[in-house]
Structure 1
Amino acid sequence: MIDPVIVKQGASPVVLGFPHTGTFVPPEIEARLNENGRLLADTDWHVDRLYDGLLDGATTVKANFHRYVIDANRDPAGVSLYPGQNTTGLVPETDFDGVAIWKDGEAPDDADSAERLEAFHRPYHAALAAELERVRQEHGIAILYDCHSIRSHIPFLFEGKLPDFNIGTNLGTTCAPEFEAAVESVVSLAPGYDYAVNGRFKGGWTTRHYGRPETGIHAIQMELAQSTHLAAEAPPFAYDEEKAEKLRRHLQDILERIERLSFSARM
């Protein structure tokens, strides 16, 4: 068994969360996935690489396990993030296209979910909570920037093409307005890209759970369309260096702005 989470501590007020870049699936769970499930298609492909080195001193908290094992960005109680809309649950039964990922008769039950919650979900969030508190104690403020990506066309989840940048703050409740504005100010001026604020993606459970501006912890989710940095949104989901380098300039600008703003806010 590998460690469920990797933490790299830094001295910045900014903490980067990576709940969906992991691809580890324990062998006994992998054996229950069907051919479609074993593609691991709903991974946030290369997102950790995309952000690597963009902000010196940023703390990173990365889940090693795949979201098909258990989704680290879902409410542990199983409550839907988007009631009435198609989505995937704490332990997904389907992929983002609504297609089954488990062999017949092998879909996880409540006992499986409880076991995976203890082995994977809780350790990830224990580490993330500890780092946010450490950073807050050091700086008087902590900024959780939750890093995500998804295919730009998924009819099961949303109509049409997803914008390139999708900022989620649960309708402005998870961070002070100046942090949301700082991120929007970058993406709104990024040539060749489009964006949405609290559109289809308003921030997952992580953003909503930790984002408590009144306590000094602010949270923002960034959901990137994978067309911005992949050669194709299909296997083998290859990283496109040229696309990624262009995108990374804007992502670096975002992180540097929220870091500067966090230093101003604590004074």
Structure 2
Amino acid sequence: MNWLNVTRGGAPMLVSLPHTGTEIPPAIAERLASLPLARNDTDWWIDRLYDFASTMGATVIHTTISRSVIDVNRDPSGQSLYPGQATTGLCPTTSFDGTPLYRPGAEPDDADIHSRRRDYFDPYHAALAAEIARLRADHDRIVVYDCHSIRSVVPRLFEGELPVFNIGTNDAVSCAPELQALVERHCDASGLSSVSNGRFKGGWITRNSGDPTNGIHAVQMEIACRGYMDERADFEPAAYSFERAAPVRSVLQRLFADMVEWAGQQSTQMA
């Protein structure tokens, strides 16, 4: 499974990168209306923004498969995580803007969805579960941090311009209140716009992994792309901007250090 990359660390923190992939198998690519369109909703460069995570001892799980093939951050049953609001599904048939991804009649059927779930979704979540279990065996509590980004303006999904930092904890269900407060303090201190459990409350990874009573605290961070790149209207992604990314990256590095320290406090106290 060369599309699934796991970098193991010993710190009480797991970092998930589910939407940075751009690979689309040829048998699926030939059915698409446009490859650039199918890749347009990628979380561009988010793996570069967080490339410090492994050096801080975090375990990092990363898929290179495009979310247009299958979205590993959706409910595998196909149920919407945001009932009544526009979204994309387990095997998306439209872009965020509502544009059809497939040529007419070439959309994925039940057999396609089943095979994509078997080949990509299930192995990704098996890797998550295995690494969570490994880390919990060594630590009384751990943080599962799910990394995302999105264009600042997507009228079909939300009104106006999205804040730079969008914290999702499934309305404070997926992690301890003090961890959510810690994340909020770092975002607020940055001087950049932020919100908790606004339009994005956390996807399937956050909601399914978070189990605070058993020491597993999950947080999703959705960062508006303008925080680290120049956004553009066409399908070609702008380059990663070191100048734009520097303030955001600095916030994230300090946040990671404090989350690792927070997660380790309980183990220290109980030793």
Post-superposition CA distance 1:137-156 (Å, at most 9, x none):
01122210000000010000
1:15 matched to 2:14: yes
Higher mean alpha-carbon deviation, 113-122 vs 233-242, is at: 233-242
Contact 1:4 1:124 in 2 (8 A): no
Aligned to 2:204: 205
Give the Cα–Cα distance (whole angstroms) in 1 for the partners of residues 5 and 35 of structure 2. 28
Contact 2:135 2:142 in 1 (8 A): yes
| One-letter amino acid of the structure 1 residue matched with residue 249 of structure 2 | R
Give the Cα–Cα distance (whole angstroms) in 1 for the partners of residues 241 and 249 of structure 2. 12
Aligned to 1:161: 161
Q: 1:39 to 1:209 in 2, by over 3 A?
A: closer
Give the Cα–Cα distance (whole angstroms) in 2 for the partners of residues 209 and 62 of structure 1. 17
Contact 2:29 2:35 in 1 (8 A): no
Aligned to 1:5: 4
Give 1:13 deviation, angstroms.
0.3
How many residues are paired up? 265
Post-superposition CA distance 1:59-103 (Å, at most 9, x none):
000011100100010011111000000000000010000111111
1:103 matched to 2:72: no
Higher mean alpha-carbon deviation, 170-179 vs 34-43, is at: 34-43
The alignment yields a C-alpha RMSD, in angstroms, of: 1.2
Aligned to 2:126: 126
Equivalent residue runs for 1:108-187 within 5 Å:
108-187=108-187
Post-superposition CA distance 1:104-143 (Å, at most 9, x none):
1111111100000000000000001100110010112221
Equivalent residue runs for 1:64-103 within 5 Å:
64-103=64-103
Give 1:248 deviation, angstroms.
0.5
Give the Cα–Cα distance (whole angstroms) in 2 for the partners of residues 8 and 163 of structure 1. 30
Give the Cα–Cα distance (whole angstroms) in 1 for the partners of residues 39 and 110 of structure 2. 22
Percent of residue pairs identical: 47
Give the Cα–Cα distance (whole angstroms) in 2 for the partners of residues 265 and 195 of structure 1. 28
Aligned to 1:254: 255
| One-letter amino acid of the structure 2 residue matched with residue 239 of structure 1 | Y
Aligned to 1:196: 195
Give 1:3 deviation, angstroms.
2.4
Give the Cα–Cα distance (whole angstroms) in 2 for the partners of residues 225 and 53 of structure 1. 19
Post-superposition CA distance 1:190-248 (Å, at most 9, x none):
02x10000000000010000100001111000000001011224423311111112210
Give the Cα–Cα distance (whole angstroms) in 1 for the partners of residues 109 and 266 of structure 2. 46
* TM-score of the superposed pair, with normalisation by structure 2: 0.95
Give the Cα–Cα distance (whole angstroms) in 2 for the partners of residues 84 and 38 of structure 1. 25
Post-superposition CA distance 1:23-76 (Å, at most 9, x none):
111011111111266450000001011011145111000011100100010011
Give 1:177 deviation, angstroms.
0.7
Aligned to 2:51: 52
Higher mean alpha-carbon deviation, 18-27 vs 230-239, is at: 230-239
Contact 2:167 2:195 in 1 (8 A): yes
Give the Cα–Cα distance (whole angstroms) in 1 for the partners of residues 199 and 77 of structure 2. 22
1:220 matched to 2:204: no
**Structure 2, unpaired ranges of 5+:** none
